[in-house]
Amino acid sequence: MRFVKPEGSSAQGAEVGGGAGASSEVWPSHKPAATAILDEVGIRRSLMRIAHEILERNEEPDRLYLVAIPNGGVPLARRLAANLREIADLVVPVGVLDTTLYRDDLLSTGERPALRQTEMPSAVDDHVVVLVDDVVKTGRTIRAAMDALMDFGRPRVVQVVGLVDRGHRELPIKLDYVGKNLPTHPDDEVQLRGLEGGLRGPLELVVLSTEEASESRGAGK
Amino acid sequence: MNRILLRGGRVIDPSAEHDEIADVLIEGERIAAVGRGLRADGAEVIEADGFWVTPGLIDLHCHLREPGQEYKEDIGSGGRAAAAGGFTAVACMANTHPVNDDPATTDFIIDRATHDSPARVYPVAAATKGLEGVVMTEMVALVEAGAAAFSDDGKTIMDGGVMRHVLEYSRLVDAVVITHAEDQTLVGGGVINEGAVSTRLGLRGNPPIAEVVHVARDLILAEFTGGQLHVAHVSTKGAVDLIRQAKDRGVNVTAEVAPHHLVLTDEATAEYNTNMKVAPPLRSEEDRDACRRGLVEGVIDAIATDHAPHAQHEKELEFSAAPPGMIGFETALAVVLDLVRSGELSPLELIRRLSTHPARILRRAGGSLAVGAPADVSVIDPARSWIYDVAKSYSKSRNSPWDGATLTGRAVATLVNGRLVYDVERGILI
Amino acid sequence: MIGRDLLGIERLERAEIERILDTAEHMREIGTREVKKVPTLRGRTIVNLFFESSTRTRASFEIAGKRLSADVINFSPSTSSLKKAESILDTARTLDAMDPDAVVVRHAEAGVPQRIADVLAAPVINAGDGAHEHPTQALLDLLTVRQEKGCIDGLTVTIVGDILHSRVARSNIYAFRKLGAEVRIAAPPPMIPCAIEALGVKAYTSLREALEGADVVMALRIQNERLAGAYFPSTREYSATFGIDRAKLRFAKDDAIVMHPGPVNRGVELAHDLADHRPGVILDQVRNGVAIRMAVLYLFAGRQPAEAAR
């Protein structure tokens, strides 16, 4: 297994405040066990930083609308909403938008994937929609999310939060806010775990080496 | 003179109650001798060691579709299929186009058979004009033309008054009136036996009582009129019971059963396979078992195939629209040998029901290997295993439920009128 | 889904049924959006092969297909093969050559979708075959009851009407039994099919006894045109003895719901007000129909032979 060292800090994902938990070290992806790359503490810090960045970047914070891509994006979006409330006393609507029906690989896969919840509490027209996903790799999920979003209405602006950017883009999708850049082997699997814990977590971001990854894929995500 | 020696076979002759290893010598068109160590110089020898040598099998009930529906079958192709199945004679039903209800049509069929069919063909003429169940046919003229029996088979004579007169008038000739006993008002458009299967499949059911009620009526009419009744394709326990009681009372009645009703049940239709659609329909296990017992006891006298060819495009219709019927000449023997394999019938008793009794019912020579009898002989290998490929059938039609099945038992040679017309290696020879 | 086709409920497992219902719940949400369309089946072809005319069911499948962005083609060959030169299977083979992603078949005779599925490479969805099965109807009925009652296990469902000729009855019997309900049928004796108990239901000729404690009452359409006089004497007597109205509903549970596959013979099998007001839930059934059919098309259309068993 090969691994790639990052070249300094990539994209705007440079962390504010640094800290031991959110390190920019790279874990070789040939390690045998599922390797944690961000623990609960690290995730909390990243999300707080991102919340600040969102407020920095947007001049009309009352137009903000967080839209989570299930399943991983859901607790992340909710925490971001809580952070925004804490920092700026903002009540930002949080929607959940399942992208399964907009996937471009749906009918060529074997089994039809199970559908997930979609719940949009209000219209997206004229809002600054911030899509939230846990792991961004090829960019296809984000593209599908944008297509789905357009069927709901006409947002003024769309921005994207990815907790982890793995690279390996297949489409020209960029992330506006990144928790951590993580170069990986394409066959590795990166998972957000602890979703059952709901809002309180604890959440953990792990990477599975290629062998484990293919086992995990076989079992279904 | 043509001489054939069938050597070393198990000679089974129900007419003489014989079942032993022997040779059979044929001279010309007749059986010349039966015995051990027969010598016949200059005779063509057929080694029958390991096979049964029996009087030619006779099928009481089949449909040859000529005249009028030659796309399904004709007398030539049907005759060839019959000979390949070990049959030396068949009786064909009158539901052709035109109906065989006058001497000219009977003549035509006999003439065709003489030229085209390796097996003998005995026409069964209609009992009523046009099979309409109203006006009876000219039975005397028809028998003179060669008709062996009378039947509206394909249809039922629903009017009791008409059936009564048909049975009464038939006493002028020595011929049976064959009844296709299904009360159409009780059949009610049913396309499959009424039961758990019809309920599951959502198909209209044809209840057993449709047959039982009608058999009851015809038996009483036969008793009342003194006519000679033959019940076609018995399929229900109720009918078997009634026929048993009638015979005990001395009523002049005979009966037949088809191979499929001896082995298959309505469960066979669970996939809507139209090759399983037949009239009367495949019934319950109880009915099937009662038919087997009836045949073994002799309540049912004979086995008849009811060979009913239909073209592929006709069978590819919706189940309820497809015409009922299966072809059966080439598979009958293998299917009914099941009763010998199970021990229910001895080989002698089976052959009696396939040859001797049918001959008697049709008032024709046959069913016997006595010296001087016509040389119609079937040579059978009861143990031969073979795969039935319906695409290779001599019949023009392909509607068989046994396509692709591995069967046990097969005719290996068939002789009609002293001539070898079929052998399993070379096929039909004339 | 295990099989390639949806020919009936009889061969579905409980888990597959629940998967369809869960998927349909998600599809319902799409109907609440501004743009009631998702691109999932874009570029795919769904063929509606309706030998028996049916405006409602066909429209429901058409809307379902279009909401999934599929191209929907309607074929309505004449009713019986007997009336035309081409047999059912010839029609199917011709269709197969056009490579559809799913074929929805409806026919007045039982067994036709199965025969078509035998020759077609594409998945076949049964939209009703004679008196045999109508799986999408039973699925939308299950969904409606699940929405009303939360859970199907332990419920008592009473189906009333011409069970003998009803595909809706058969499919619903399988469906509700598989999900754990007790199913009863009630009808005048000539309309109770032979050996129906083998399907796991109890047959009643007394409507009152059949309704005792029922959670769900399902009324079936009486086809007066062909039945009155043969299987029952008149619609007047049928309505008096087996028609569902508020008075008779008193024997059922207080919170019982009333269903009907439609179209309703008002005043015959169902009283006018129950057709329009609660506890009748007919309009919910219709709404769920589109969602169920979207779910079915999503789960079955376009599946390759290698993926699915046949």
CA distance A220 to chain C (A): 15
Instruction: Tell me the C-alpha distance between B217 and B160, whole Å.
Output: 8
Distance CA C185, CA C158 (A): 6
Q: How far apart are the first and last CA of chain C?
A: 11
Instruction: Tell me which residues of chain A have a C-beta less than 8 Å from any C-beta of chain C.
Output: 98, 101-102, 106-107, 110-112, 114-119, 147-148, 151-153
| Cβ contact C26–A117 (<8 Å) | yes
C38 vs A102, A110, A153: nearest CB: A102
ipTM over 0.90: no
Q: Taking the CB of residue C299, how many other CB atoms lie within 10 A of it?
A: 19
Tell me if the domain spanning C135-285 has CATH number 3.40.50.720: no
Is the same domain home to B144 and B46? no
> Which residue, of B342, B362, B382, is where some domain finishes?
B362
The answer to the question of residue B367 being in a domain is no
Is residue B105 domain-resident? yes
Is B230 domain-assigned? yes
Amino acid B430: pLDDT? 84
Order of all β-strands in the sheet with A128-136:
A94-96, A64-68, A128-136, A157-165, A177-181
Rounded to 5 degrees, what are φ and ψ at B231?
-95, 120
CA A20 centroid distance within chain: 21
Residue contact A112–C22, C-beta within 8 A:
no
Domain finish residue from B339, B362, B385: B362
The rounded distance, in Å, linking the Cα atoms of A134 and A150 is 21
Q: Residue C242: what are its φ and ψ, rounded to 5°?
A: -125, -5
Read off the CATH number of the domain in which B154 is found. Answer: 3.20.20.140
CB A171 within 8 A of CB A139: yes
Same-domain check for residues B170 and B289 = yes
Per-residue pLDDT for A2 more than 60? no
DSSP assignment string, B17-43 = TEEEEEEEEEETTEEEEEETT---TT-
Domain boundaries, chain C: 14-133+287-308, 135-285
Same domain flag for B81 and B189: yes
Tell whether B368 is covered by a domain. Answer: no
Cα–Cα distance, B409 to B291 (Å, whole number): 21
CB–CB contact B318 C107 (8 Å) = yes
- Helix (DSSP H) and strand (DSSP E) numbers for chain C: 12, 9
On whether residue B59 sits in a domain, the answer given is yes
Task: Give the per-residue pLDDT at B54.
Answer: 98
Gap between the Cα atoms of A192 and A73, Å rounded: 9
Tell me the CA distances in angstroms from B324 to B31, B52, B233, B317, C216, one per residue in order. Answer: 40, 34, 13, 11, 42
pLDDT tens readout for residues B322-347: 999 999 999 999 999 999 999 999 99
HSE-CB at C133 with a 13 A cutoff on CA atoms is 24
- Interatomic CA distance for residues A155 and C260, integer angstroms: 43
Structural domain span for residue B265: 55-362
User: Domain C14-133+287-308: which topology?
Assistant: Rossmann fold (3.40.50)
Mean pLDDT, range A185-209, rounded to an integer: 81
Q: Which residues of C touch B199 (CB under 8 A)?
A: 193-196, 198-199
- H or E stretch including B11? strand B3-13
Predicted confidence (pLDDT) per residue in B165-209, tens digit: 999 999 999 999 999 999 999 999 999 999 999 999 999 999 999
Of B331, B362, B393, the residue that ends a domain is: B362
CA B233 – CA B60 distance, rounded (Å) = 10
Does the beta-carbon distance from C34 to A112 stay under 8 Å? no
Position B183 in a domain: yes
Residue C163 buriedness (CB in 10 A; 0-12 / 13-18 / 19+)? buried
Q: What residues form DSSP beta bridges with B45? A: B5
pLDDT one-digit tens code per residue, C9-60: 999 999 999 999 999 999 999 988 888 999 999 999 999 999 888 889 999 9
Q: Are B21 and B132 found together in one domain?
A: no
Give the C-alpha separation, A49 to A76, whole Å: 13
Q: What pLDDT score does A216 carry?
A: 62
**Is residue B17 scored above 80 in pLDDT?**
yes
The pair phi, psi for residue B420, each rounded to 5°, is -75, 115
Q: Which residues pair with C257 in a beta bridge?
A: C216
- B398 torsion bin: left (phi>0), alpha (psi -120 to 50), beta (else): alpha
Longest dimension (CA), chain A: 48
Domain membership flag for residue B154: yes
Q: Are residues B399 and B259 in the same domain?
A: no
Question: Does B231 map to a domain?
Answer: yes
Q: Which C-chain residues 170-199 have CB contacts (< 8 A) with chain B? A: 170, 193-196, 198-199
Is the pLDDT reported for residue C82 higher than 60?
no
At B7, which CATH number?
2.30.40.10
Q: Quickly list H helices, chain C.
A: 14-30, 55-67, 88-96, 112-119, 135-149, 167-178, 207-211, 224-227, 235-242, 246-249, 272-276, 282-300
Q: What is the pLDDT of residue A1?
A: 32
Q: Which residues of B are catalytic?
A: 306
Entry field: residues in chain B = 430
Q: State pLDDT tens for residues B352-369.
A: 999 999 999 999 999 999
Q: Are there at least 3 beta-carbon pairs closer than 8 Å between B and C?
A: yes
C-alpha B137/C-alpha C131 separation (Å) is: 42
Residues B393 and B289 both lie in one domain: no
A12: which residues sit within 8 A by CB, 6+ positions away? A53, A176, A177, A178
B61-78 pLDDT per residue, tens: 999 999 999 999 999 999
Q: Tokens for C36?
A: 């009631």
Please indicate whether, in this complex, the C-beta atoms of B195 and C88 are within 8 angstroms of each other.
no
User: pLDDT tens digits, residue range C109-168?
Assistant: 999 999 999 989 899 999 999 999 999 999 999 999 999 999 999 999 999 999 999 999
Q: Do both B220 and B253 map to the same domain?
A: yes
Q: What pTM did the predictor assign?
A: 0.85
**What are the chain C neighbours of A116 within 8 Å (beta carbons)?**
26
- Both B340 and B386 in one domain: the answer is no
The answer to whether residues B350 and B396 belong to one domain is no
B59 and B39 share a domain?
no
Number of domains in chain B: 2
